[in-house]
Structure 1
């Protein structure tokens, strides 16, 4: 049986991948979110209290919250309330890119790594955003030929409503060049993922590649990243490649050579050696553990 990278039923996945988006109502009968990497962006509004585990943080929500999930950060949420109701919108990276000024939106505090993904809503905010979800639901079921564009506009409105709630200090620019170049490096690193096709492969593989793209000397990039994070640039690149490799091994039926190529390795032997050095395991053993 082919393994789907999106861990929901195959009919749902096919529709999501074909259209690039899906809007639906959620309730307590569907349970919480599993702690796993997803290959779609998510915006969710829920009436009910939850304990959210997002990346390395834990956040307790109030009665109504708005959540923004991106494909690169694992998350889970544990219901505190006995019941909950809400709406969820899922959309692929390609669908997001078609939104006007999508590049700036992807760099916003709502979706980027280290940003603020959860907002507690007051009554007026809840009514406004719930109304936009209702409109998306209605549009999704319509036969209007340009409904995709209308839904993109509704997504954009929800994003901008959340940006209005964003604390000013969270959107402030880095105070020095070292932090700024480090932030840009991580955003550039994340933009290369997820790998969605066997024909897709990494364009930037080394610290030198990133430095050249950023128009800085590689020594300056390395010293900046290490000063801010305590780890060299190459370690962060390797960690992200390993994370992507595990996702591809667990959630696709691509063979090892295809995965190696997509991740920038000329030969699968190089990939196997790299993977074993970083994890202590061979790629096949990771895939076998999920059978």
Structure 2
């Protein structure tokens, strides 16, 4: 698919459903995690979506449904027993010819890191893969997945104060089963495609560098030039490849990664905000606070209090 000015970009599933005129009542406006049966959303079948991009991860479990989905130039048929997932940045569209029981899970990188696994992409590297083909799972194996996502569904709609932790732990099990089913004999669809390899290398370096910042092994945030030097590329060329393949410029990837790491540290550690700023490469905590507020609308102090439940 070629990018056009009409390509839609959605940061949250709620934004997507609102734009497409789909049912929104099952989507929590504040949540970075959603799960629901698509039959409750699509009142009219068959349905054909427009081309769009999302800035969140999607996992689809097809117990009873048929259609197809497209990611970039690749088209995949969907039939009962299909499981597939997509990560942020790709051109996507989908078509449902029949739809009875198909569960969609969406979640942000922040949710993954805060509630599933702090080193999520080390433990589950397939989440960063360019494109992973769907798998049609044997009925008995699919039943195991069904039991997991139904448990997650019940937790999501519960009122438990531990809801996110329960979801996070169940999702670890779900990802381990996906890893077992999808990753053992994985071969990249775009093997040999230079642009796709550049994107994969960039994502891996981005993740590695922010781990080093968080652990204190690195003190300065990489610039575009640093990411380009790592692959012996001109920075303009690298930025063009990243933007054309993912829909986001390198600067956007860096800022989103910085905020995701900042949120994780503010929520999951007791280190001072000054130390968080230092670990993320900011020379002054005031600069970090301004940066964080610009991208989230909250100060780091307020965000930490909000996550700990101490705001009045």
Aligned counterpart, 1:20: 32
Aligned counterpart, 1:138: 154
Whole-Å Cα distance in 1 between the matches of residues 149 and 91 of structure 2? 24
| 1:244 aligns to 2:248 (yes or no) | yes
Task: Name the CA shift for 1:117/1:188 in 2 (closer, same or farther; >3 Å).
Answer: farther
Task: Name the CA shift for 1:123/1:53 in 2 (closer, same or farther; >3 Å).
Answer: same
Deviation, structure 1 residue 85: 1.8
* Unaligned 5+ runs, structure 2: 1-8, 189-193, 210-220, 253-312
Number of aligned residues: 212
* Unaligned 5+ runs, structure 1: 173-177, 193-202, 212-217, 224-231, 249-291
Whole-Å Cα distance in 1 between the matches of residues 232 and 130 of structure 2? 20
Aligned counterpart, 2:95: 78
| Counterpart selection for 2:121 from 89, 99, 103 | 103
CA contact (8 A) 2:56 2:106 kept: yes
CA contact (8 A) 2:121 2:207 kept: no
Aligned counterpart, 1:39: 55
CA contact (8 A) 1:42 1:89 kept: yes
Whole-Å Cα distance in 2 between the matches of residues 14 and 83 of structure 1? 17
| Counterpart selection for 1:29 from 19, 43, 48 | 43
Aligned counterpart, 1:88: 104
| Counterpart selection for 1:69 from 77, 86, 91 | 86
The two structures have a TM-score, normalised by structure 1, of 0.60
Whole-Å Cα distance in 1 between the matches of residues 141 and 49 of structure 2? 23
Whole-Å Cα distance in 1 between the matches of residues 70 and 10 of structure 2? 24
Whole-Å Cα distance in 2 between the matches of residues 59 and 15 of structure 1? 27
Aligned counterpart, 1:278: none
1:38-72 CA-partner distances (Å, limit 9, x unpaired): 12211111222222211221122332211212121
Whole-Å Cα distance in 2 between the matches of residues 189 and 73 of structure 1? 18
Deviation, structure 1 residue 135: 1.0
Whole-Å Cα distance in 1 between the matches of residues 87 and 28 of structure 2? 16
| Counterpart selection for 2:17 from 5, 8, 17 | 8
Deviation, structure 1 residue 79: 2.7
CA contact (8 A) 1:222 1:233 kept: no
**What RMSD in Å do the two structures reach over aligned CA positions?**
3.9
Q: What secondary structure is seen at the aligned counterpart in 1 of 2:231?
A: helix
The two structures have a TM-score, normalised by structure 2, of 0.56
Deviation, structure 1 residue 94: 0.8
Task: Name the CA shift for 1:164/1:34 in 2 (closer, same or farther; >3 Å).
Answer: farther
Task: Name the CA shift for 1:158/1:141 in 2 (closer, same or farther; >3 Å).
Answer: same
